[in-house]
Chain A
Amino acid sequence: MKQTWLYKVFSHPILQLISFSIIMIGGEIFASPYLWYVRYGSADGQAFGITGVVAMITTLISIVVKRFRVQLWGLILMWVSLIVFFCQSHNKAGLFEFPITEVTLSLFIAVSVCVVLKHVTWKNY
């Protein structure tokens, strides 16, 4: 796969962090980006929150050490965090009710695919 600038952007750890953080989750009174859930959920000892924090730290470390494999582990942990969150949440956090959740989650899925392809194709920075 050719390393186009768009592909590089979509597989970049920073966009991975941003797309993970801005997944919009509806609530009873207010809606929040997933970063809010990770921030306060981890402080409350929630598994999805702690996993989310570890995932974000791992992804940040991948920028420093420049290792795709570390970025991939960050991505896997992000998905674990999201899956745990959506599964424990009633109505799957409105996943199939609120289009904005689906749109922001789709962006994260697109970024995830690019990161995995990057890992498969290039192996390293």
Chain B
Amino acid sequence: MKRIMLFSIAACAIFFACQKNNFPAGSDSEIVQHILQKNLSAADMNAADLSTLQSSTLRSGHHIYRLHMGKENILLETDGTNQFVKGAIYTIAGAISKSNNHTTYSGVFDRSDLSRKNNVHWSIDKGFARELHSFNGVATNGSGQQHVNYECADCTLPEVTVSASYPPSGGIDWFSWMSLLSMFDMGGQNDYIAIQWISSGGGGVGSAPVITIDTESPENKDKIEPKKYTDCFGSIPDNNTTLYTVTISTDLPTDGHPEIFYNWNDRSPGHAFIELNKSTPYGGVTQDFGFYPTSSWKLVTLDNVTLPSKLVDDGGHEYQARYTISVSAAQFQAAIYAVNSARDTYNVGNYNCTDFALDVFNAAGGNLSIPRHSIPGFEVDGGSNTPQGLYEKIQSMQNGGTANTTTTNNKEYAGSSKGPCN
């Protein structure tokens, strides 16, 4: 009996010692072009490369955008109705060095408003901005070389600290978005920047891959009436300036690893969803739709059953790859029809979330077919459409130079949906 007691106590102790982890949530649009046309000079506008656009959404519903402009970067913030809030042009160039287990950054950091005013030029020496400290000599910054002589304001902590470095991936993770926000409102002095440096390689610093995971279940997602969501697009006028886009997104079970079919930690096979956007220079409406079974508990792997389905609001859902197409008004209507006439049954092997997303995307003229894979426990002849297959397709399209394709090794988040109307 003593052994039984000890065995039971040990088992209970290990169970209760386990920790639950929660992870944050956080967008995208072609409205950026209109904002840039209004705020950038003609030369800067020509240099802006919209194909490099990356986006994310803040909890406030504001959207953050980043894109390349030659060797510089543009950072924009818009509100929930896609109205321009603020922007900045910044450059980070330099290298990360490591000695005695102490990693430092040296290089230059330039920042200005979109109108090229309120400039900040810093030459960073081992984390310290020379311009902010006691320094008498020649400094190199974005304006070239100049002799400077500064008093030390605060030599306690460096302005730039290296928290992690990544090999170039084309992606930007959630923490980096948060770090970039500090560049919007920088003054001329005494600002600290929190930069998560996207390394161009080298420097003797090992990469620090980040794999993050979320937990959700169909039971946690409220069923929506899609008609109430698609009716919102009627509030945006149809004219020559109206842009219609359809975006298909895929969320891998394990970020950055399309070869992994299942995430054993959050028990997720991944997800795919669709985003419809209709906008004009004066505002727009975005709605995200995902297809789920009504309950996970009735979908037992040993019995590949068909169950009632539901559409949910997938605004703010994470993704690792997405593909956006501009469509005509008629194609957009076809996509809306596909959403409103979504199947009312869900089958993991035969008709799952990826099948729904593809149906809507292809109804809008997407003409997308993806590699099919066998889902363990739900095998069907010819394989199934899966989030991994969608990721592989978008990645191959991106490698082939297809515009408006995005992949990331970490997380990005879809914009928030407007929600139901009427």
CA gap between A25 and B271 in the complex, in Å: 19
Minimum CB–CB distance from A30 to chain B (whole Å) comes to: 4
Query: B262–A89 contact, CB under 8 A?
Result: no
User: Given contacts A28-B267, A41-B264, A90-B213, are A36 and B18 in contact (CB under 8 A)?
Assistant: no
Q: How far is the CA of A100 from the CA of B20 in the complex (A)?
A: 20
Q: Is the CB of B15 within 8 A of A95?
A: yes
B4 touches A117 (CB 8 A): yes
Taking CB atoms, residues of chain A closer than 8 Å to B218 are 28-29
Residue interface bits B285-298, CB-to-A below 8 A is 1, else 0:
00000001100111
Known A-B contacts A86-B18, A91-B20; A79 and B11 likewise in contact (beta carbons under 8 Å)? yes
With A and B bound together, what is the CA distance between A37 and B14 in angstroms?
A: 20
Chain A interface, >50% SS class: helix
Quick check: is B216 within 8 A (CB to CB) of the other chain?
A: yes
- Give the contacting residue for A36; candidates B213, B298, B377; CB below 8 A: B377
Supply 11 A–B pairs (Cβ within 8 Å), ascending by A.
Answer: A24-B300, A28-B216, A29-B268, A29-B353, A30-B301, A31-B297, A88-B264, A92-B18, A93-B267, A94-B217, A117-B4
A108 to chain B, nearest CB (A): 11
Q: Is the CB of B348 within 8 A of A90?
A: no
Interface hits, B62-89 → A, CB 8 Å: none
Q: How far is the CB of B273 from chain A (nearest CB, A)?
A: 13
Interface string of A78-106 (1 = CB under 8 A from B): 01000101111111111100101000000
Which residues in A have their C-beta under 8 angstroms from that of B377? 32, 36, 40
Q: How far is the CB of A96 from chain B (nearest CB, A)?
A: 10
Chain B residues with CB under 8 A of A116: 3-4, 7
A27-B267, A27-B296 known; A32 vs B301 contact (CB < 8 Å): yes
**Chain B 247-288 against A: per-residue CB contact (8 Å), 1 yes, 0 no?**
000000000000011101111110100000000000000000
From A25, A29, A85, residue with most partner B Cβ within 10 Å: A29
Is A46 part of the contact surface with B, judged by Cβ < 8 Å?
A: yes
B15 touches A36 (CB 8 A): no
- B11: chain A residues at CB < 8 Å are 79, 83
Q: Which residue of B lies closest to A84 (CB)?
A: B14
Q: A29–B264 contact, CB under 8 A?
A: no
Q: Find out whether the CB atom of B271 lies under 8 angstroms from the CB atom of A92.
A: no
Interfacial chain A residues near B302, Cβ < 8 Å: 32-33, 36
| B-chain residues with CB within 8 Å of residue A110 when the two chains form the complex | none
User: Which B residues, 1 to 43, have Cβ-Cβ distances below 8 Å to chain A?
Assistant: 1, 3-4, 7, 11, 14-15, 17-18, 20-21
